[in-house]
Structure 1
Amino acid sequence: MDKIKELISLMNANDLSEIEIQEDTLRIKVKKTNGGFQPAFLPSVPSGSLPAPVGSVQHPLLKKDNLKEITSPMVGTFYRAATPGAEPHVGVGDVLDPDTVVCVIEAMKIINEIKAEVTGKVVEVLVEDGMPVEFGQPLFRVQPTVSGG
């Protein structure tokens, strides 16, 4: 329910009439109509028919509550590397500091470097290379580390 409220706030802030997200097997679509918002829980597709998220790792000792998400600061196209064919900026298991460039987002033909802004280890890459992203969309999940180690 909190996710739906967050989507509605995001829609209002960006003057959007429709938004759709998918996380694992859950897919939520919210449309603004004349009567207000209508959340639609779409049937999940059997896991065998969808590709696994890029670099997805589910560590049994990690709780998602403890993870920080690196989100997109803009609408654009997500790229894991600065140029096609180059090594990705970061991957699962990489240790980040706040100034680490984690990806680039192309918006209006301008390449924007996105920094981690958090110290920790990448545990999940949530977006596939070359896919469109929305403002506020989670791109990576990071297990934060305590200062000093």
Structure 2
Amino acid sequence: MLKIQEIRELIKLVDQSSIDEFSYELDGSKIKMKKNKAVTYVEEKAAIQNNEVHKAEEVVSAPAAQAPVQSPKATEAPAGETAPAASASDENLHKIVSPMVGTFYQSPSPDAGAYVKPGSKVSEDSVVCIVEAMKLFNEIEAEVKGEIVEILVKDGQLVEYGQPLFLVKPE
């Protein structure tokens, strides 16, 4: 089964190419992407060995163009209040972005502590949050070694593909 990072790279490659449809199958897992005018769809099905019952199904939508990451409403939200102060200093900060549309969770369960908070040190493979999509809980890794400077979304908030979740000061 492909990892989230591999799926993210496939989405980027299909998005940047001129192809309209992409399909990939390996060991019972199948990914099929179709690119329409404004949306790329990713579907992944992992079947049990006898292929009688599908274990999981995930559909992720992503903007076709990389430049406009957030919708206008998202930029007018409370995050817009901190954007002017952060934009001047975030040039040297790494943004951890959501690889899919889903619900952001900062802890593995409601009664557990958050994976990270501002000031937390992370490595490339540190889990920083979970994004739930279609009842699948996807662990998101930091991808960079450094220190969490800011958490840009609230627990339980819906997030879009490519939406910044964290600002990290790289080491």
Q: TM-score, structure 2 length as denominator?
A: 0.54
- Seq. identity, %: 43
The partner residue of 2:95 within 69, 73, 94 is: 69
> Which structure 2 residue ranges, 5 or more long, are not aligned?
1-15, 17-36, 41-61, 64-69
What secondary structure sits across from 2:71 in the alignment? strand
In structure 2, the partner of 1:19 is 71
Whether the aligned pair in 1 keeps the contact of 2:79 and 2:152 (CA below 8 Å) is: no
In structure 2, the partner of 1:130 is 156
> Which structure 1 residue ranges, 5 or more long, are not aligned?
1-8, 28-46
Q: How many residues align?
A: 107
| Residue 122 of structure 2 corresponds to residue 96 of structure 1 | yes
**For residues 167 and 153 of structure 2, what CA distance do their matches in structure 1 show?**
11
Q: List aligned pairs for 1:34-53, cutoff 5 A.
A: none
Q: TM-score, structure 1 length as denominator?
A: 0.61
**For residues 118 and 94 of structure 1, what CA distance do their matches in structure 2 show?**
13
In structure 1, the partner of 2:19 is none
Q: CA shift at 1:64, angstroms?
A: 1.2
Q: CA shift at 1:63, angstroms?
A: 2.2
Say which structure, 1 or 2, has more relative contact order (CA 8 Å, 6+ apart): 1
> Counting helix residues as a fraction of each chain, which structure ranks higher?
2
Give structure 1 regions of 4+ aligned residues with deviation exceeding 6 angstroms.
23-26
Question: What are the Cα deviations for residues 79-118 of structure 1, in whole angstroms up to 9, with x where unaligned?
Answer: 0001012100000000110000000010000100000000
**For residues 79 and 116 of structure 2, what CA distance do their matches in structure 1 show?**
26
Q: CA shift at 1:22, angstroms?
A: 2.2
Question: What are the Cα deviations for residues 8-58 of structure 1, in whole angstroms up to 9, with x where unaligned?
Answer: x9x945476x9232278675xxxxxxxxxxxxxxxxxxx6xxxx89xxxx7
**For residues 68 and 110 of structure 1, what CA distance do their matches in structure 2 show?**
26
In structure 1, the partner of 2:104 is 78
